[in-house]
Structure 1
Amino acid sequence: MKFLLITLIVHAPHPVTGVKPSTHERFQEVLGNAVLAEELGFDGFGVGERHERPFISSSPPVVLSHVAALTSRIRLFTAVTTLSLLDPVRAYEDYATLDHLSNGRLELIIGKGNGAAQRELFHVTPDDQWDRNAESYELFREIWRHDRVSAQPRFRPALSDAEVWPRPLQEPIRVWHGSATSQASVDLAARYGDPLFSTNVTNPIEPYAELIRYYRERWAAYGHDPALATVGAGTAGYFAARRSQDAVEAYRPVFEGQLAFQKQLGLTPVFRTLEDFIERSSALIGSPQQIIDKVHRYHEQFGHSVLHLHADAGGLTPAQHRAALELFQSEIAPVLRRDIPDPPWPWAPVTAVPLAA
């Protein structure tokens, strides 16, 4: 099993202290967490893409380019690239450039994105967002694979024997499809034989497990080898301590602060108590053995081979955050790596060459 740290770069008051960092400070936190992820031995670091409050993750290629300069081994993920909002030609140019700057460490997780405000910003409607996502992905995919492309898309001007530069380093790049609530993204992933990444953060396990089962059904229906169907999954929160009681009590003010913030945004919480959150959500809070057992329970439903944790401290102190991640790598990850298979492909880039000094 492989492990990622992912941030959506939420820019909001600290859930415990109420203090809001500056934009500059928040970006510095992201960079520090990326360096920490590589230092501790995580396999990937991901940056989301949102175009509305309370997020400042509108430019993941820029952030990941800086992360690429600060790291050398860890794979770099988008989580997700909102192709329903983007011109696929421009998105290709950004990510092909980043592919070179990262020495072939880039992986994309694509999706239509969430939120009415960002749809309105880009003049995308609920009726056309899924069509835009599929069309943008298909055109992005063609550009990545071919030196010249001709296409008559609905949502951008036609291309006639067009060349788009630079050509990428990875041929082709791996693209995951982010899945939250709709069969449309699941079917698109299965159709092209691409891996699926379940958000798995908002609700109990059942709706996510149902979509993953559907992905495997559609994968087989499209004629792909069932052994190659690959799934990643998110988690709603993480904090480990050697004693479960200590983990729960340390996380309680974090949960209560997050609950208050959800209510402030007008959201209806799915999990109203910390105990319910720990029991029924994908959150990994407790002793190392409790977390190992819970990942195994989810794996029985998902069959996933990649797992993400939150990159941000999220209300924990920096010392608590680092200690919990160190405990994950020293006592939790080795067991899960032994028990649960990796994705069915080499994780390290195979086409990359050393960058000039």
Structure 2
Amino acid sequence: MEIGITTFVENTPDPYTGKLLPPAERMRNLMEEIELADQVGLDVFAVGEHHRSDYIVSSPAVILAAAAVKTKNIKLSSGVTVLSSDDPVRVFQDFAHVDLLSEGRAEIMAGRGSFIESFPLFGNDLKDYDTLFSEKLELLIALNKSEKITWEGKHRPAIDNRGVYPRPYQQELPIWVAVGGTPQSVVRAATHGLPMALAIIGGEPERFVPFTNLYKETYKKAGHDPAKLQLAINSHGFVGDDAQQTADTYYGPYAYVMSKLGRERGWSPMNREHYEAMRGPKGSLLVGSPQQVIDKILYEYELFGNTRFLLHISVGTLPHDKLMRCIELLGTVVAPAVKKAVAKASS
């Protein structure tokens, strides 16, 4: 199993002091986080795309290009690229640059976007939410397979036998499809034979088993080799030396962000009781000591048989030193133990 990290590079006020980091400082911290993830042997670092004030990355490829020259081994992915509101040609070109700079470590994680700010910003109609993604994903796949492209669709001007450059370092860029539990999205990823990343940010992971089963069944029925199937589980979490201190550190920033999103989306505000329930053995949060996080990752592996696990480490802005310690523990303690257990279970 590959083990890695996702981040939306949030920049939210400290819930206790109200202070906000200067964006340049938050960006410096991010570069240090990616470098450390590489140094401690983590497999993947993924950076999300947003177009709102509380997240400071609107172009993951720019950040990943900077990280490419600071790292040696770690895979660099978006998490996600909001493909529906972008131009697939430009997305492909941008990530080809990242791939060249990193000598073959770039990936694209494409999604429809759970935040919708980019749609009006770039002149897209939300009524086309699903067809925009479906059409643009097909174009991105075609661009990945062929140097010259002839293509025509509804949402983008036609392309008539044009070459698209540069080409990536890899023969093809890995393209993952990120889903949040919509069956149509699961079927789309499986039908195309693309790796799928499933985000689990609430409730009990067990209720997502039907979605991963649907993915595996559809993937096989579509004629793809089951041996090549790749499935990632992405979950919120935080690792620290002491379980209670770690839970206390994470709660404030996490509750701030989840309650704010709740007000926007009609969810109930986050409270400590709900938080602790989510931290329980069968809840969706992976927050606590290394052993608690190891146990939770292996529990999810039993449910899903996933080939990759990505820990979303910063829902709200956390102290930089504690975030760095989290990355260190994930790479040096959690990941080796999980990989050893998975290898033993597979042998």
- Is the structural similarity TM-score above 0.5? yes
CA distance in 2, matches of 1:158, 1:262: 38
Contact 1:34–1:67 (CA under 8 A) maintained in structure 2: yes
Deviates more, 1:286-295 or 1:100-109: 286-295
Contact 1:11–1:56 (CA under 8 A) maintained in structure 2: yes
Name the counterpart of 2:279: 278
Q: Residues 121 and 316 (structure 1 numbering): CA distance in 2 closer, same or farther, change over 3 Å?
A: closer
Percent identity among equivalent residues?
29
The count of residues paired between Structure 1 and Structure 2 equals 342
Name the counterpart of 1:247: 246
Please point out which of 286, 292, 295 is paired with 2:294: 292
Name the counterpart of 2:43: 43
- 5 Å matches for 1:20-39? 20-39=20-39
Q: Residues 321 and 211 (structure 1 numbering): CA distance in 2 closer, same or farther, change over 3 Å?
A: same
Gaps of 5+ in 1: 345-357
CA offsets per residue over residues 127-154 of structure 1, 9 Å max, x none?
Answer: 3222111211111221222121111111
Contact 1:203–1:270 (CA under 8 A) maintained in structure 2: no
Q: CA deviation at 1:269?
A: 4.0
- 5 Å matches for 1:197-216? 197-216=197-216
Q: CA deviation at 1:311?
A: 4.5
The answer to whether 1:164 aligns with 2:164 is yes
SS of 1:116's equivalent in the other structure is coil
Contact 1:244–1:287 (CA under 8 A) maintained in structure 2: yes
- 5 Å matches for 1:175-324? 175-241=175-241, 243-262=242-261, 265=264, 268-269=267-268, 272-273=271-272, 274-279=275-280, 281-312=283-314, 314-324=316-326
Q: CA deviation at 1:256?
A: 4.2
What RMSD in Å do the two structures reach over aligned CA positions? 2.4
Q: Residues 128 and 297 (structure 1 numbering): CA distance in 2 closer, same or farther, change over 3 Å?
A: same
Gaps of 5+ in 2: none
Contact 1:30–1:312 (CA under 8 A) maintained in structure 2: no
- 5 Å matches for 1:79-98? 79-98=79-98
CA distance in 1, matches of 2:343, 2:125: 40
SS of 2:96's equivalent in the other structure is helix
Q: CA deviation at 1:313?
A: 8.6
Q: Which has the higher helix share?
A: 2
Q: CA deviation at 1:100?
A: 0.9
Please point out which of 322, 331, 334 is paired with 1:332: 334
The answer to whether 1:2 aligns with 2:2 is yes
Contact 2:6–2:310 (CA under 8 A) maintained in structure 1: yes
> 1:170 corresponds to which letter in structure 2?
Q
CA distance in 2, matches of 1:332, 1:27: 26
- 5 Å matches for 1:41-120? 41-120=41-120
CA distance in 1, matches of 2:194, 2:173: 11
Q: Residues 248 and 164 (structure 1 numbering): CA distance in 2 closer, same or farther, change over 3 Å?
A: closer
Q: CA deviation at 1:52?
A: 2.7
CA distance in 1, matches of 2:94, 2:42: 25
Contact 1:33–1:311 (CA under 8 A) maintained in structure 2: no
- Normalising by structure 2, report the TM-score: 0.90
Contact 2:259–2:269 (CA under 8 A) maintained in structure 1: no
SS of 1:134's equivalent in the other structure is helix
Q: Residues 175 and 59 (structure 1 numbering): CA distance in 2 closer, same or farther, change over 3 Å?
A: same
> 1:142 corresponds to which letter in structure 2?
A
Q: Residues 135 and 207 (structure 1 numbering): CA distance in 2 closer, same or farther, change over 3 Å?
A: farther
SS of 2:197's equivalent in the other structure is strand
